[in-house]
């Protein structure tokens, strides 16, 4: 038995179980009222889907974070991290936050992207806070992930709600990603199918990891992602040439050469050297000062410069090089129209 309703449904969700996307009522395939089960016990119907609001946190809780990765201090004033360590944030400024370790009592600057709020979902390997539906698909379809890889992300359309994205295989489409809306209950619980509810997202993940129970597949490993690169140190703009080690020549052109190298022995960077006389140091530095403030996730980031000739430009290192060169490689020419259109959309972002 289906559900009769005429309004268009929110096309952000392409998958759901036993529930009408138009009117939000459960669909009973046998024409009978279904029992709702929570932890093996029957609960009352109806379930109410609503826009959740996060409970207020105390000021102390808001300033406590947990380290997601180890970090060895490399600068005067930064603070080392041990994975799992709890810290108190004293000041949030830019990409380096001033913090105090609750383990050692020491204070210093830490990379903002190496920590997450305590008593939150952020430390969970399957939780991806600020990504879009399309970004979820890109990450799940990337190498290292397999059938059943999954993540939970914040909903783009319903504040306070979440969605589950799962990598699957379709006979017609090949590797694909299915999305399920996780609905909120008025008592604070969650469900995908109204047949079974959960008190937390952790319970939901554990259940569907044991059994697909209506999903496209059983949940496997959380989506793999690369460890983030620590932000560039805030005071390092004009750096000494001796701090750079050039390792591999990537190319050469009219104005100079491009190398892969390391800054201070630990940060992988791209180094562009300008031929002497191709540009005056003063003109170059003026242009570089403008470029360093131009930051966007889709643009290669300018980190630092060496202003004595030969002039060096230090930028973010991109493993596959420039897009135009990559598209000419054997890997690039095999890309399908869907991937090419996705790249074009990112360029226009």
HSE at residue 242, side-chain half, CA atoms within 13 A, is 0
CB of 183 closer than 8 Å to CB of 47 = yes
The answer to whether 272 is annotated as binding is: yes
Cα–Cα distance between 81 and 76 in angstroms, integer? 15
The angle subtended at Cα 345 by Cα 340 and Cα 346, nearest 5°, is 100
What DSSP assignment string belongs to 78-132? B--B-TT-EEEEEEEETTEEEEEETTT--EEEEEGGGEEETTSSTTSTTEETT--
Measured in whole angstroms, the distance separating CA 111 from the mean position of its chain's CA atoms is: 16
**In sequence order, what are the residues at sequence separation of 6 or more whose Cβ sits closer than 8 angstroms to the Cβ of residue 167?**
140, 141, 145, 146, 147, 148, 149, 150, 175, 176, 177, 223
CB neighbours of residue 164 within 10 Å:
23
Site of tokens 């059943």: 148
Residue 35: CB atoms within 10 A of its CB come to 10
Q: What is the DSSP string of 248-266?
A: EEEEE-SSEEEEEEEETTT
Whole-angstrom distance, CA of residue 197 vs CA of residue 203: 9
CA angle 245, 249, 251 (to 5 degrees): 140
The DSSP output letter for 171 is: T
Residues forming the annotated binding site?
272
Residues forming the annotated binding site for ATP?
272
């Amino acid at each position: 038995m289906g559900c009769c309703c005429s309004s268009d449904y929110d096309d952000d969700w392409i998958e759901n179980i036993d529930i009408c996307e138009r009117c939000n009522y459960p669909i009973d395939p046998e024409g009978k009222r279904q029992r709702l089960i929570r932890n093996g016990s029957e609960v009352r119907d109806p379930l109410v889907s609503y826009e959740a609001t996060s409970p207020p946190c105390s000021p102390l809780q808001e300033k406590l974070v947990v380290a997601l990765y180890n970090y060895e201090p490399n600068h005067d004033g930064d603070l080392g991290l041990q994975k799992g360590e709890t810290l108190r944030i004293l000041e949030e400024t830019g990409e380096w936050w001033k913090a105090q370790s609750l383990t050692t009592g020491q204070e210093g600057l830490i990379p903002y992207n190496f920590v997450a709020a305590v008593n939150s979902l952020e430390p969970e390997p399957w939780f991806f806070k600020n990504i879009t539906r399309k970004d979820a698909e890109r990450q799940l379809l990337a190498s290292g992930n397999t059938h059943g890889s999954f993540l939970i992300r914040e909903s783009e359309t319903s504040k306070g709600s979440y969605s589950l994205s799962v990598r699957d295989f379709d006979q017609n489409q090949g590797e694909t990603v299915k999305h399920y809306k996780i609905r909120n209950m008025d008592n604070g619980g969650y469900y995908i199918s109204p047949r079974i509810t959960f008190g937390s997202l952790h319970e939901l993940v554990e259940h569907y990891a044991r059994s697909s129970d209506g999903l496209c597949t059983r949940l496997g490993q959380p989506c793999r992602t690369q460890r983030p690169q620590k932000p560039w140190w805030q005071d390092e703009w004009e750096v000494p040439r001796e701090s750079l080690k050039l390792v591999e020549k990537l190319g050469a052109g009219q104005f100079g050469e491009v190398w892969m190298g390391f800054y201070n022995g630990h940060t992988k960077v791209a180094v562009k050297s300008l031929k002497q006389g191709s540009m005056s140091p003063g003109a170059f530095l003026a242009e570089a000062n403008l470029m360093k403030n131009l930051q966007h996730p889709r643009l290669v980031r300018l980190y630092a410069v060496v202003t004595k000739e030969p002039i060096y430009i230090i930028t973010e290192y991109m493993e596959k090089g420039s897009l135009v060169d990559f598209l000419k490689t054997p890997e690039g020419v095999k890309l399908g129209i869907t991937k090419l259109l996705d790249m074009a959309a990112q360029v226009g972002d």
